[in-house]
Structure 1
Amino acid sequence: MTELSQIRNFSIVAHIDHGKSTLSDRLIQFTGGLTAREMKEQVLDNMEIERERGITIKAQTVRLNYKAKDGKSYVLNLMDTPGHVDFAYEVSRSLAACEGSILVVDASQGVEAQTLANVYQAIDNNHEIVPVLNKVDLPAAEPERVRAQIEDVIGIDASEAVLASAKSGIGIEDVLEAIVSKLPAPKGDPTAPLKALLVDAWYDPYLGVVVLVRVFDGFLKPGQQIKLMNAGATYKIDKLGVFQPKATDVEALGPGEVGFFTAQIKEVQDAAVGDTITDERKPTSQALTGFKEVQPVVFCGIFPVDAADFEDLRSAMGKLRLNDASFSYEMETSAALGFGFRCGFLGLLHLEIIQERLSREFNLDLIATAPSVVYKIYMNNGDVIDLHNPADMPDPVKIDHIEEPWIKATIFTPDDYLGAVIKLCQDRRGIQTDLSYVGSRAMAVYELPLNEVVFDFYDRLKSISKGYASFDYTIEEYREGDLVKMSILVNAEPVDALSMLVHRDRAEQRGRGMCEKMKDLIPQHLFVIPIQAAIGGRIIARETVRALRKDVTAKCYGGDATRKKKLLEKQKEGKKKMRQFGKVEIPQEAFIAALKMDND
């Protein structure tokens, strides 16, 4: 059992690509957590997709032993948290398990949107914050400018910010000394009843569910009967340990310590992030605050390209769900795409990651429908329905009004691209709430409807700013909107997979774009195919796929014109009949291309 005064629990907050994982690697290496032979880049990122994209998806923890310059030995618990907004709740629980944070800012790029979001979360958790200016060895580094930026934008003192380069190993010892001297030690009562925070949980094929835990009061020991207070379930602890970064068994975990346990928990959803763990026989009187159920924000349908892969897709989703309780799915059928699943995600990055993991790890070819958000539909009889799939929308006559989710978006952009960014936000029904300058960069704060962002907002923002703008958002509230269901009809038949809820003002523009796209994608048939966008019974856009023509008058040479006319009239009748009974085959490629985000 380590003295409380010699424990430090901290997390690293940073924008994507500012060197968070590299700094974690250097801290592990410097404190001797792994030998030079065992070291690899991004030690704490286990998934191939995490390494490839340079992002953290799952929170990881590592316990480091450090002998400081004052001669004392300290135990440092590092929480490596995801940086992306989709995982904001997981980040908030990881931060609740720490007393301090290291704020890593790239000395050449300065403060970015995600830096801001995550550092404000750390401040909300009453963290002591140590700023670290990373990449100071780059020719473009401007530490003094970035120091001033941190003070102006975030409002924390950066005069003693540590200058470091995680890649070159410069200033690593200074970072460790700053952790020991500036971050507070945890508080806790070893004699009080057990009170611990469930920080994260994942599935291990050999051990079952492994739970990451931070102890606040009391002790955790193998064989102990514990209770999850929000879930109401009880379990017996089998195995207790810490990551150094290799898993090492321990006899007990006391106040201020971070470790893991296994307790024959069968499914990850039984161990909800943020739950309070206590002793079953001598429980604590009050649970830790801040627990909430994680709700999916973005929904989309996922279908196999080949219907024979449906069972493989079902088992792949089951396996992914084992490790990610925030991902939900249920079966759905579509007349156009066959059998598939309606899936719920925390946000757009989460959707992209799950889709990529399904196709990579399980070798599946998939079609994903356009993402939609959760709408609240208020009926005339007083009922409120949560609508995930636009195809399930009730009869408009019975609807009183519809509410849609709005977000607060923070966009950082170089001054040159500000005009284009403002135009993009206005086109997407954005309301500007703030615009300020940080050096030569503008910070625009907008309120935007989430359904305008899920299409292709991020891609458009990156292309108009040549990749320099950074974007972060938080979900604010639901607001009433003039929303209508737009259906796409091919040969007068509605195609359910392409229906969507849009704002009335933008329906015509989006409908026209969709019809033009479908016109290029549907192959010609022997009859004319009308492609229409409709709101209820009103057609708002139309394109026509021309018919393949057989020259029936080819055999007429010379002679009376009425003979030709007769053949053409006969052909016209045949085409009319064919159009009545003919079925339009929409190729899968057409769906995939049409469902790729609109580039309007």
Structure 2
Amino acid sequence: MVHQYNGSKFLLNLIDTPGHVDFAWEVSRSLAACQGAVLLVDASQGVQAQSISVFHNARERGLKIIPVLNKIDLPAADPERIAEQMRTTFGIDPSEILQISAKTGKGVQEVLEAIIDRIPPPRGLKEAPLKAFLFDSFYDRYRGVISLINVQEGVLRRGVSYNFFRLRVELTVSQGDKIASCHTRKRYEVTDIGIMHPEEIPTQNLNPGQVGFIACGMKQSSEAHIGDTLHRLGSEVEPLAGFQPAKAMVFAGVFPVDNSDFPKLEESINRLMLTDRSITFQRESSAALGQGCRLGFLGTLHMDVFRQRLEDEHDANVIITAPTVPYKILYQDGREQVVSNPTEFPEAGDTSLRVKEIQEPMVKASIIVPEDYVGELMDLCYQHRADGLEHRYLDAGAASAARIMITCLLPLSEIVTDFFDQLKSRSSGFASFDYEDAGYQKSDLAKMSFLLNAKPVDALALVVHRSAQEKVARHWVKKLHQVIPRQLFEVPIQAAIGRKVIARETLKALRADVTAGLYGGHYERKMKHLENQKESKRRMKRLGKVELPQEAFFSLLSNK
């Protein structure tokens, strides 16, 4: 946007970042391209857990932070108390905090002026070799990959047009700058260039400090590596400090309800991945569900959003398996293996693999909640195997409205199910939750298989902690008992770890009245028919195969 201040015009490039913890990578990517950050805090709710995470991320990058209190027009707003809370939490001087109302527009002008006054402008030299930071990209069906860049030094030019007259026909040839990527070493020619205002406005060049877009003939989104440094061809430069690429935290299998729709599903997923670079893709096949894909997501919300886009934008009817996290398997010979698919997890008691230990990913969780709900949330954390639980007050001297920050180590597998829903339920919606990666830790885990008539169903395999194996086994076995259609023979439904059966339900057989047509006669005649029926059912149970229909899978996995 263009803002006029003290008689001068300033071009401001603003990036709005999401607040949910699943999109922390998007926040990190945005901060890497900026010179400053506006820390927005709700004047009625106070500091949230994700606000603390974003604040420390921005401070580690050395960015100038402008604290702002929003929604001061609400009746429940308490700016003085929240300002004191920001002082104790972040060490911010309350006199530097701007108070605004985005609804009424009050104070917004002061925020724009503070951005100009407090955040130093970019200091790049036009004469220096070209150095541009690539921080985002999107796909255009006509121009290919469009990259969003921040020019740090040098000038990037569109090029000069030359006119040729041949056979009374005017030909125009445009030669743009030739650039190269420090990451992929590929070469490109700039065909289009401009700034975002907020729509695309073509320009002849981009100067140091400017943010804009370029089109240079990239065919695939994978070529636009987020965090890459672009330079002029033939002029080598030192790459800019990038950041860690997106790391998938949650994996799930995606299968079409109708197996013949797999090519269409794969094409739909590839199209969505053009605009969402954080998703990992791998083909997968299941004996029960057929051909499908195993996708990696940043979190469960990210997974739900992607599923919704598949259904809304591409009219896909899919089955998504239970979400899992990547586990690390350490073997006796020193090998390491990361397993994200439960079917590849080693079986309990299989000594041939010589597994030394199994590690699961851990996260450092931060929960901010009013004091009245602390007991409930501590109990919730302990139920999900929390370790190192600590708490401290955020509002010093405000006992009537005191808020407490709970920190602990939690297994990632415990928070990808219904942890967030329970958190909001037990705190009446007042709790905020954030987490960050804390590495791997040794854990007592096992693979749980589900058997129908002694035949395992690979798509239902789970990795569970030993302490919760009975509870999980009973829950899933009861759900299977509800969705599996009855057969002509009795079907045992079992949950097993290795060779040990943990839980069992029996699906009764459909019974036909084989004696209905026998009128009169001796009693032994009816018993003969009944014995023949029993023998036939025993034979069917021994040789029969239970097919779990796609509708049953959809009902089972759509509402866990």
Q: Same fold (TM over 0.5)?
A: yes
Match of 2:382 in 1: 426
Q: Say whether the 8 Å CA contact 2:477–2:503 is kept in structure 1.
A: yes
Whole-Å separation in 2 of the counterparts to 1:71 and 1:258: 23
The residue type equivalent to 1:272 in the other structure is: H
| 3-state secondary structure, aligned to 1:188 | coil
Whole-Å separation in 2 of the counterparts to 1:221 and 1:534: 65
Match of 2:366 in 1: 410
Task: Indicate how the Cα distance of structure 1 residues 548 and 78 shifts in structure 2: closer, same or farther if over 3 A, else same.
Answer: same
Whole-Å separation in 1 of the counterparts to 2:195 and 2:19: 23
Q: Say whether the 8 Å CA contact 1:90–1:199 is kept in structure 2.
A: no
> How many Å apart are 1:525 and its aligned residue?
2.0
Match of 1:594 in 2: 556
> How many Å apart are 1:412 and its aligned residue?
1.7
Whole-Å separation in 1 of the counterparts to 2:120 and 2:390: 35
Which of 51, 65, 70 pairs up with 2:2?
65
Superposed CA offset, 1:9-39 (max 9, x none): xxxxxxxxxxxxxxxxxxxxxxxxxxxxxxx
Superposed CA offset, 1:55-92 (max 9, x none): xxxxxxxxx22111x33322212122233333323322
Whole-Å separation in 1 of the counterparts to 2:129 and 2:86: 41
| 3-state secondary structure, aligned to 1:525 | coil
Match of 2:197 in 1: 244
Task: Indicate how the Cα distance of structure 1 residues 71 and 334 shifts in structure 2: closer, same or farther if over 3 A, else same.
Answer: same
Superposed CA offset, 1:296-319 (max 9, x none): 221110011122221210110121
> How many Å apart are 1:563 and its aligned residue?
5.3
Name which of structure 1's ranges 265-274 and 544-553 shifts more when overlaid on structure 2: 544-553
Q: Does 1:493 pair with 2:455?
A: yes
Q: Say whether the 8 Å CA contact 1:455–1:597 is kept in structure 2.
A: no
Whole-Å separation in 2 of the counterparts to 1:382 and 1:557: 75
Name which of structure 1's ranges 317-326 and 206-215 shifts more when overlaid on structure 2: 317-326
Which of 296, 310, 314 pairs up with 1:344?
296
Q: Does 1:305 pair with 2:257?
A: yes
Q: Say whether the 8 Å CA contact 2:346–2:447 is kept in structure 1.
A: no
Q: Does 1:538 pair with 2:538?
A: no
Match of 1:186 in 2: 122
Match of 1:516 in 2: 478
> How many Å apart are 1:364 and its aligned residue?
0.9
The residue type equivalent to 2:85 in the other structure is: Q
Match of 2:392 in 1: 436
Superposed CA offset, 1:474-502 (max 9, x none): 11101121111100111111111100111
Which of 105, 109, 125 pairs up with 1:173?
109
> How many Å apart are 1:158 and its aligned residue?
2.8
The residue type equivalent to 2:531 in the other structure is: E
Length, aligned pairs only: 533
Match of 2:510 in 1: 548
Whole-Å separation in 2 of the counterparts to 1:294 and 1:77: 24
Which of 108, 131, 135 pairs up with 1:199?
135
Q: Say whether the 8 Å CA contact 1:498–1:595 is kept in structure 2.
A: no
Task: Indicate how the Cα distance of structure 1 residues 589 and 425 shifts in structure 2: closer, same or farther if over 3 A, else same.
Answer: farther
Whole-Å separation in 1 of the counterparts to 2:192 and 2:50: 37
Q: Say whether the 8 Å CA contact 1:275–1:291 is kept in structure 2.
A: no
Whole-Å separation in 2 of the counterparts to 1:88 and 1:189: 32
Which of 364, 374, 380 pairs up with 2:316?
364
Superposed CA offset, 1:481-536 (max 9, x none): 11111001111111111001111221221111110111122122222111111111
> How many Å apart are 1:293 and its aligned residue?
3.5
**Unaligned 5+ runs, structure 2:** 159-175, 396-401
Whole-Å separation in 1 of the counterparts to 2:522 and 2:383: 59
Whole-Å separation in 1 of the counterparts to 2:239 and 2:506: 63
Whole-Å separation in 2 of the counterparts to 1:460 and 1:553: 54
Match of 1:265 in 2: 218
TM-score (norm 1): 0.85
Q: Say whether the 8 Å CA contact 1:491–1:530 is kept in structure 2.
A: yes
Q: Say whether the 8 Å CA contact 1:225–1:281 is kept in structure 2.
A: no
> How many Å apart are 1:464 and its aligned residue?
2.3
Superposed CA offset, 1:91-127 (max 9, x none): 2232122121111111111111111111211111112
Match of 2:151 in 1: 215
Q: Say whether the 8 Å CA contact 2:358–2:444 is kept in structure 1.
A: yes
> How many Å apart are 1:242 and its aligned residue?
0.5
> How many Å apart are 1:568 and its aligned residue?
3.5
Match of 1:105 in 2: 41
Match of 2:63 in 1: 127
Q: Say whether the 8 Å CA contact 2:450–2:496 is kept in structure 1.
A: yes
Whole-Å separation in 2 of the counterparts to 1:595 and 1:452: 18
Match of 1:43 in 2: none
> How many Å apart are 1:402 and its aligned residue?
1.6
Q: Say whether the 8 Å CA contact 2:150–2:210 is kept in structure 1.
A: yes
Larger Rg: 2
Q: Does 1:253 pair with 2:209?
A: no
The residue type equivalent to 2:150 in the other structure is: R
Match of 1:453 in 2: 415
The residue type equivalent to 2:220 in the other structure is: E
The residue type equivalent to 2:364 in the other structure is: K
Match of 1:56 in 2: none
Superposed CA offset, 1:151-182 (max 9, x none): 12222223232221112222211111221222
Whole-Å separation in 2 of the counterparts to 1:491 and 1:142: 63
The residue type equivalent to 2:44 in the other structure is: S
Whole-Å separation in 2 of the counterparts to 1:434 and 1:229: 44
| 3-state secondary structure, aligned to 2:510 | coil
Which of 273, 294, 310 pairs up with 1:321?
273
Task: Indicate how the Cα distance of structure 1 residues 564 and 237 shifts in structure 2: closer, same or farther if over 3 A, else same.
Answer: same
Whole-Å separation in 2 of the counterparts to 1:420 and 1:559: 69
Q: Say whether the 8 Å CA contact 1:241–1:250 is kept in structure 2.
A: yes
Match of 1:116 in 2: 52
> How many Å apart are 1:571 and its aligned residue?
2.5
